[in-house]
Amino acid sequence: MGKRDTWRIVLVFGLALLLTSAALLGVCLGLARAGFRPQAPAKTSTPAKTTVKAVVPFSMLPSNHMLVQATINGKGPYRLIFDLGAPITLLSNQVSEASGVVKADAPRSFLFSMRGEAEVAKLQVGDLTTTKLPVIVLDHPALKILGEALGRPVDGIIGFTFFARYRTTIDYQANQMTFEPIDFPIRDLLRELPGRLAGPKTIRRRVLAPRGFWGLRLARWSAGNINSAGVPIVAVLPGSPAALAGLQPGDVLTTLNNRWTTSVADVYAAVADVQPGRDVSVVILRDGKEQTLMVRPADGI
């Protein structure tokens, strides 16, 4: 290994630690090593049926995390945290070995015994079975601390690579999630980001295209204005959908199709999703008073 490679690995590992370590944020709220109640036993999940909407119960840990009981390759159940803020799914070494996700003699790195990417052949939570789930095998220090505080280990984290496969609903009152399969291409961050980090700092450019024709001209282009109320309309073309809806020059657009329009960029992002021929609500300020108008954009450019 060259000196340069070593240096890069150290750099990258610093980053890795930085991002994973955020897990420990809540430690500032105080570590409690006693007084945790044992979790209620997991509901025994019935064998997976081919239902459209799978139901998965969860329980809340005293640390305010959602815990699900998962079977991995028929082994378990294991205790996994369901985390909307985690971009990837992670399993501990012990569980990965016990469930056959990695072989016991698979090489480990010197850092947190990381074994890198692996694939779970079959993961079951509640009514849901998913297959070929990419995971990272790593003994996360935050999970270790959490497990110690709880007196029971936490075996991993379910993140974006899992839930982006579904239309997910989370009901904290019912302690229940539902999952309906969708077809969403999940970006491979692990291939994309390191290259971008190491590569040239190219600015990506994107043109925001309105989907329909409104007949409006707005104030000067701005990408983001903090604390601005909205975007002033400079001109309304006669006979256009905007004119028919009653919009006038001087009106300040504050909300379009339920999206805040604090900058011209916001307006364009909002109109990119508005189909022609359908009414959409627009909130404006006119003489300091809020009004809501309905606009039906035409098809055009």
Dihedrals φ, ψ of 119, to 5°? -130, 135
Main-chain phi, psi angles of 78, to 5 degrees: -110, 155
DSSP 266: H
Question: In the complex with other proteins, which residue's Cβ is closer, 133 or 146?
Answer: 146
Q: Which is nearer to other proteins, 27 or 294 (CB)?
A: 27
Q: Which positions ≥6 away from 83 have C-beta within 8 Å?
A: 65, 66, 157, 158, 159
β-strand 59-60 against 75-82: which pairing, if any? Answer: unpaired
* Minimum distance, C-beta of residue 224 to other proteins, in the bound complex (Å): 9
Closest approach, Cβ 191 to other proteins, in A, equals 9
Considering the complex, what minimum distance in angstroms separates the CB of residue 133 from other proteins?
A: 14
Closest contact distance (angstroms) between CB of 79 and other proteins is 13
Q: Which is nearer to other proteins, 164 or 293 (CB)?
A: 164
Q: Which is nearer to other proteins, 74 or 194 (CB)?
A: 194
Minimum CB–partner distance for residue 55 and other proteins (Å) = 14
Give just the sign of the alpha carbon dihedral 189, 191, 194, 195: negative
Q: Show the CA angle centred on residue 289, arms to residues 283 and 291, nearest 5°.
A: 30
Which is it for the CA torsion 233, 236, 242, 243, positive or negative?
Answer: positive
Please say which residue, 24 or 294, places its beta carbon nearer to other proteins: 24
Q: What 3-state DSSP class applies to 124?
A: strand
Q: Which of 265, 259, 251 is nearest to 280 (CA)?
A: 259
